[in-house]
Amino acid sequence: MKEIKLALVYRDMWQAAGKYVPTVDMLTKVAQPIIDMGCFARVETNGGGFEQVNLLFGENPNVAVRKWTQPFNDAGIQTQMLERGLNGIRMSPVPKDVRKLMFKVKKLQGTDISRSFDGLNNPQNLELSFQYAKEGGMIAQGALSVTHSPIHTIDYYINLADQYIEKGAEEICIKDMAGIGRPVSVGKIVKGIRERHPDIIIQYHGHSTPGFSVATSLEAARNGADIIDVGMEPLSWGTGHADLLTVHEMLKDAGFSLPDIDMKAYMHVRSLTQSFMDDFLGEYINPKNRYMNSLLIGPGLPGGMMGSLMADLENNVKSLNKWLTKNNKPNVDQEELLLGLFDEVKVVWPKLGYPPLVTPFSQYVKNVSLMNVINSYKGKKRFAMIDENTWGMILGNSGQLLGELDPEILKMASDQKREFYTGNPQDLYPDELDTYRKKMDEKGWSYGQDDEELLEYAMHPPQYEALKSGEAKKKFEADLAERKAEKTANATNADAGIPIGASPAFQTPKELNLNVNGENYNIRISYPNETAQDNTAVAATPTQEFIPPAQTNGVNAKYIVSPLEGKFYLTKETSEKGKQVGDVVKEGETVAYIEAMKVINAIAADVSGTITEILVKHGDDIDEDDQIFKIV
């Protein structure tokens, strides 16, 4: 009877479900009950977006990692983290010295195993991860990001495992991040690796999303996998992972030997997890993420991304409907936008060279596809807006794509005078630790135990500064209060027979008379989700869009406006110089940036002239169509 082990992916359960992860107090509360379950050889404790998410709600992730890993260390249960190779534990490339420090710090904080993957399955990018993990005292596990395309074949993955092991990987993970790895194919991949490397540990990680993962777990086990990753209720299934109870019973029935589950402890963990959702985490979990969806077989978007995607989609729908209402066009709902996105991914993905649909490249493919869909409602052509991160992928700044780029993309690169890169991606990102040491010295900040605060600042600069200033916690608390108030209002409206999202007429003004510079304006106001009945009182008044007459020394001004909502930045690098009043800009020139959906989008001037006023500040949150620069 072959022994097989189970790993609980408690961090990834939350990331696949929604936006946030539990606080350190929640994590330390649930650690001992997880241990008491008695069935886990490993627990995934950190990595991926874990630390950035901690920072977003104003909590120091270094404290969280140390306190969270300690009970498992004491119990002899191995802890594992997820890291993104060249991108470390963020969405963008990381300098070499920061990458090296990360492994040292994470081991000292209590993490035993580094699961390293590269978004392009590029062995060159992972060689340093394997080296630094082992130098730091960690086990170096190399993850094959499984995707399904004409060029990602069974032989491709078996040969890729050979390259990872040659580069220094001590274990192999089959990372089926979208759950679209077909069971038999994954079984053949595992078998091929096992035949070539009889003694290496193979771990299977699969999300449930379209429903293959239970069968795939069995095929992986039968063909030589040693460890199977599982989730547990109330966060199993859907965009998460196959449930522990199901996988455990299936493997026992198949003749595998594995420890029994202490069901009393299981129910305790289940209850605690639900209480964390009830506390505040559930406010950021879209209910649709709790269901499996076979439509995702086609686009192959990963479960870990779907949690944040559904949260982003709420804002995208609101923003798009604001534009549609303003332009007298019918509104769309989230389902329509989501299905449009799924269809568009199938078109865009091959054109972008078939990058594996895993972080961060799944986000890039998704973002370009989503912008295409949104812009199609506005009458714009496909690829009207490609963010700077995606261009970096296209141009080879993260390594070479496995597939060929579409001629349309190549022409765009040529027209925009963008240059392709064929060297080692790490060489593009020089060391930065000394820069951050200097900044911390100037601010009087401590580097922290084992330089962990230095690492955090160098890894997540804006988020760390927001943590230190208290701005992150303040924004999070305001956002949470707004969500809870909206839920309460919707419940009250439902009791009163008012549709969710609608506002009673007596609570909101429908019409305003304004005088601006001697000119009278009659403004009619509409609200999202209004019905025709809501507007009967002012139906006879023609709709006008209020645009105050801009004047600068008697000259009519023009404006550069935001093409989407997000966080506004004058520059994308601290070394750059942003646009200033008095600067002359030309049509098509990049004038600023917006961070939206985890990527940086360039704002191109659609007019030429001189900047006479900058209307928003660096770091401000702005909406689509907000005026940014006044131009004459």
Tens of pLDDT, residues 482-517? 988 888 887 777 666 665 554 444 444 545 555 555
How sure is the predictor about 542, in pLDDT bands with cuts at 50, 70 and 90? very low
In this structure, the answer to whether residues 321 and 173 fall within a common structural domain is: yes
On whether residue 492 sits in a domain, the answer given is: no
Confidence at residue 549, expressed as pLDDT on a 0 to 100 scale? 39
Confidence at residue 148, expressed as pLDDT on a 0 to 100 scale? 87
Tell whether the model's pLDDT for residue 544 goes beyond 50: no
Beta carbons within 8 Å of 102's beta carbon, 6+ residues apart: 83, 88, 89, 94, 132, 455, 459
Q: Which amino acid is at 426?
A: Q
Which CATH number fits the domain that encloses residue 279? Answer: 3.20.20.70
On whether residue 59 sits in a domain, the answer given is: yes
Ramachandran angles phi, psi of 171, nearest 5°: -140, 165
On whether residue 479 sits in a domain, the answer given is: no
Final residue belonging to a domain, choices 447, 469, 491? 469
Tell whether the model's pLDDT for residue 553 goes beyond 60: no
How sure is the predictor about 554, in pLDDT bands with cuts at 50, 70 and 90? very low
| Cβ-contact 332, 377 below 8 angstroms | yes
Question: Which residues, listed in sequence order, are joined to residue 141 by a DSSP beta bridge?
Answer: 115, 171
Question: Which residues, listed in sequence order, are joined to residue 613 by a DSSP beta bridge?
Answer: 630
Tell me what the mean pLDDT of segment 220-224 comes to. Answer: 97
Cα distance between residue 143 and residue 116, in whole Å: 6
Cα distance between residue 192 and residue 174, in whole Å: 12
Confidence at residue 307, expressed as pLDDT on a 0 to 100 scale? 60
On whether residue 10 sits in a domain, the answer given is: yes
- Could you write out the three-class secondary structure of 104-165? HHHHHCCCCEEEECCCCCCHHHHHHHHHHHHHCCCEEEEEEECCCCCCCCHHHHHHHHHHHH
Final residue belonging to a domain, choices 512, 531, 548? 548
On whether residue 481 sits in a domain, the answer given is: no
In this structure, the answer to whether residues 383 and 532 fall within a common structural domain is: no
Paired sense of beta strands 42-47 and 5-8, if any: parallel
Q: Domain limits at 543?
A: 502-548
In this structure, the answer to whether residues 312 and 443 fall within a common structural domain is: no
Beta carbons within 8 Å of 87's beta carbon, 6+ residues apart: 93, 94, 119, 359, 360, 398
In this structure, the answer to whether residues 224 and 250 fall within a common structural domain is: yes
Cα distance between residue 155 and residue 500, in whole Å: 52
In this structure, the answer to whether residues 127 and 268 fall within a common structural domain is: yes
3-state helix, strand, coil in the chain (%, to 5): 45, 15, 35
Tell whether the model's pLDDT for residue 57 goes beyond 60: yes
In this structure, the answer to whether residues 457 and 396 fall within a common structural domain is: no
Other beta carbons less than 10 A from residue 464's beta carbon: 24
Confidence at residue 529, expressed as pLDDT on a 0 to 100 scale? 47
Q: What are the C-alpha distances in Å from 225 to residues 6, 117, 168, 245, 258?
A: 11, 18, 20, 19, 13
The proportion of the chain whose per-residue pLDDT surpasses 90, expressed as a percent, equals 56
Confidence at residue 543, expressed as pLDDT on a 0 to 100 scale? 33
In this structure, the answer to whether residues 554 and 543 fall within a common structural domain is: no
The number of domains in the chain is 4
Which run of H or E residues covers position 100? helix 96-108
Other beta carbons less than 10 A from residue 91's beta carbon: 18
Cα distance between residue 57 and residue 64, in whole Å: 13
Q: Which residue, 344, 342, 347, is CA-closest to 408?
A: 347
In this structure, the answer to whether residues 83 and 142 fall within a common structural domain is: yes
Q: Which two tokens stand for residue 586?
A: 């030309």
Q: What are the C-alpha distances in Å from 231 to residues 91, 234, 544?
A: 24, 9, 53
The proportion of the chain whose per-residue pLDDT surpasses 70, expressed as a percent, equals 88
Q: Tell me 429's DSSP state.
A: S
| Cβ-contact 386, 370 below 8 angstroms | no
pLDDT tens digits along 103-161: 999 999 999 999 999 989 999 999 999 999 999 999 999 999 998 889 999 999 999 99
How sure is the predictor about 605, in pLDDT bands with cuts at 50, 70 and 90? confident
On whether residue 482 sits in a domain, the answer given is: no
Tell me what the mean pLDDT of segment 398-425 comes to. Answer: 92
In this structure, the answer to whether residues 404 and 271 fall within a common structural domain is: yes
The helix/strand/coil state of 176 is strand
In this structure, the answer to whether residues 448 and 323 fall within a common structural domain is: no
Tell me what the mean pLDDT of segment 424-429 comes to. Answer: 94
How sure is the predictor about 323, in pLDDT bands with cuts at 50, 70 and 90? confident
In this structure, the answer to whether residues 387 and 442 fall within a common structural domain is: no
| Cβ-contact 41, 72 below 8 angstroms | no
User: Mean pLDDT in the chain?
Assistant: 87
Q: Which two tokens stand for residue 276?
A: 């964390």
Confidence at residue 87, expressed as pLDDT on a 0 to 100 scale? 93
On whether residue 475 sits in a domain, the answer given is: no
Confidence at residue 136, expressed as pLDDT on a 0 to 100 scale? 97
Tell whether the model's pLDDT for residue 546 goes beyond 80: no
Final residue belonging to a domain, choices 381, 403, 431? 431
Q: Which residue, 164, 119, 171, is CA-closest to 146?
A: 119
| Cβ-contact 270, 331 below 8 angstroms | no
Tell whether the model's pLDDT for residue 257 goes beyond 60: yes
| Cβ-contact 19, 310 below 8 angstroms | no
Confidence at residue 555, expressed as pLDDT on a 0 to 100 scale? 57
On whether residue 483 sits in a domain, the answer given is: no
pLDDT tens digits along 357-391: 887 888 889 889 988 999 899 888 888 888 888 99
Paired sense of beta strands 511-516 and 519-524, if any: antiparallel
| Cβ-contact 490, 501 below 8 angstroms | yes
In this structure, the answer to whether residues 298 and 447 fall within a common structural domain is: no
Quick one: how many helices (H) and strands (E) in the chain?
20, 20
- End-to-end, the C-alpha distance of the chain in Å comes to 79
Confidence at residue 60, expressed as pLDDT on a 0 to 100 scale? 95
Confidence at residue 303, expressed as pLDDT on a 0 to 100 scale? 62
